[in-house]
Amino acid sequence: MKAARLFSIGDIRLVEEPIPSPRPDEAIIHITTVGLCGSDLHWFSEAGIGDALLKKPLVLGHEFAGVTESGHRVAVDPAIPCSICEPCKAGNPNLCTDLRFAGHGEEDGALREWIAWPKRCLHSIPDSLSASDGCILEPLGIAIHAVDLGKVHTGMRVGVFGCGPIGLLIIQTARAAGAVDVLVTEPLPHRMAAAQKLGANPWFPGEEVDVAFECAGANEAVEDALLAVKPGGRVVLVGIPKDDRTLFTASVARRKGLTLLLVRRMKFTYPRAIQLIQSGRVDVQALITHKFPLEEIVPAFAAAQHREGLKVVIQVSQEEPQVS
């Protein structure tokens, strides 16, 4: 099978490898679509993310859908929690102390034709959803988890600072949760245009929101979120900073008595994500601006790195073959 492996900063190569053999608790999945995420770009441009560093050539990709050997279309949760640590037992598998995650650390991800993955991590894709819808369920899950942390409810005014794919999904998810107005900032004109098309309005200093979501991974966006949110409000930090540091003016946060929350992936979101797409309350296709075959992985990463559009999707296959 073909696989795209990252060997060092900016060095991703298409290689030939054996099809993996599944363990008894795993299914073999023929991958159809993979979305490129901002964290994939951190690995690509920095050979790591946070304190996780590239130790060996790694297959990236954690937003993915595929087809099982029996022909079932599935979206795949990239997180494999241990289920026995204290956070897992407390209902927080996203905080698992022994978590395995596709395309992270030493766990190969989805930028390949086949993957063996635990059956418990598979979610059936209904006929009303496409394969590319299926691979966006993971980032939509991040948005759902963020909105849950923000406690968004009917009548709220929400701020979204950074309108990349996650920001655009939070705009829609917050509206589905009852937000009456979403105010946004975004330096790239095409992303601002996408946010406004989804019903958001530009935020200007002096305007106040009930809860703010920082989705840029930039300290400037964090500062704007702190300024915008009302006293006693919540600021949810979603973005991943390039240098693994988040800085802000402490006096502003302290005097307002703000609650700061950080998003760690997601938990129990796939059924809700599917329902949001099926109901039409979230349009994930509005995010997909680029599609590349796996053979064009290098220009695909270039397009994503240069932020030429919104979401880049790798079309690994449109086939549903059997393992030979």
- Domains, in order of start, for the chain: 2-124+284-315 (3.90.180.10), 141-262 (3.40.50.720)
DSSP 151: T
The predicted pLDDT at position 322 comes to: 41
For the record, the structure tokens of 156 come out as: 């709220």
**How confident is the model over 143-199, as pLDDT tens digits?**
999 999 999 999 999 999 999 999 999 999 999 999 999 999 999 999 999 999 999
**How confident is the model over 29-49, as pLDDT tens digits?**
999 999 999 999 999 999 999
β-bridge pairing 63-68 and 26-35: antiparallel
Q: How far is CA 315 from the centre of its chain?
A: 17
> What are the distances in angstroms from CA 21 to CA 26, 314, 315?
9, 23, 23
DSSP 22: P
The predicted pLDDT at position 252 comes to: 96
**How confident is the model over 225-260, as pLDDT tens digits?**
999 999 999 999 999 998 899 999 999 999 999 999
Hey, CA dihedral for 214, 218, 222, 223, is it positive or negative?
Answer: negative
Q: What is the mean pLDDT of the chain?
A: 96
- Asked if residue 136 has pLDDT above 80, the reply is yes
Neighbouring residues of 76: CB distance < 8 A, sequence distance ≥ 6: 29, 64, 65, 66, 102, 110, 115, 117, 121, 122, 123
With H, G, I as helix, E, B as strand and everything else as coil, classify residue 6.
strand
Q: What is the DSSP string of 240-267?
A: --TTS-----HHHHHHHTPEEEE--S-S
With H, G, I as helix, E, B as strand and everything else as coil, classify residue 4.
strand
The predicted pLDDT at position 243 comes to: 86
Provide the pLDDT confidence category of residue 299 given band limits of 50, 70 and 90.
Answer: very high
- Asked if residue 319 has pLDDT above 90, the reply is no
Give the whole-number percent of the chain exceeding pLDDT 90.
Answer: 96
Q: Judge contact between 73 and 125, C-beta under 8 A.
A: yes
Provide the pLDDT confidence category of residue 321 given band limits of 50, 70 and 90.
Answer: very low
By C-alpha distance, which of 3, 31, 7, 22 is closest to 320?
Answer: 31
Quickly tell me which residue has 């329902």 as its tokens.
275
Q: What is the mean pLDDT of residues 111-124?
A: 98
- Give CA–CA dist 97/138, Å, rounded: 20
For the record, the structure tokens of 321 come out as: 């073959």
The predicted pLDDT at position 50 comes to: 87
Provide the pLDDT confidence category of residue 318 given band limits of 50, 70 and 90.
Answer: confident
For the record, the structure tokens of 237 come out as: 């930090």
Q: How many H-runs (helices) and E-runs (strands) does the chain carry? A: 9, 20
Strands (E), the chain: 2-8, 11-16, 26-35, 48-49, 52-53, 58-59, 63-68, 73-76, 79-80, 100-101, 114-118, 122-124, 157-161, 181-185, 201-202, 209-214, 229-237, 259-262, 288-293, 311-315
**Which range, of 191-195, 304-308, 317-321, averages the lowest pLDDT?**
317-321
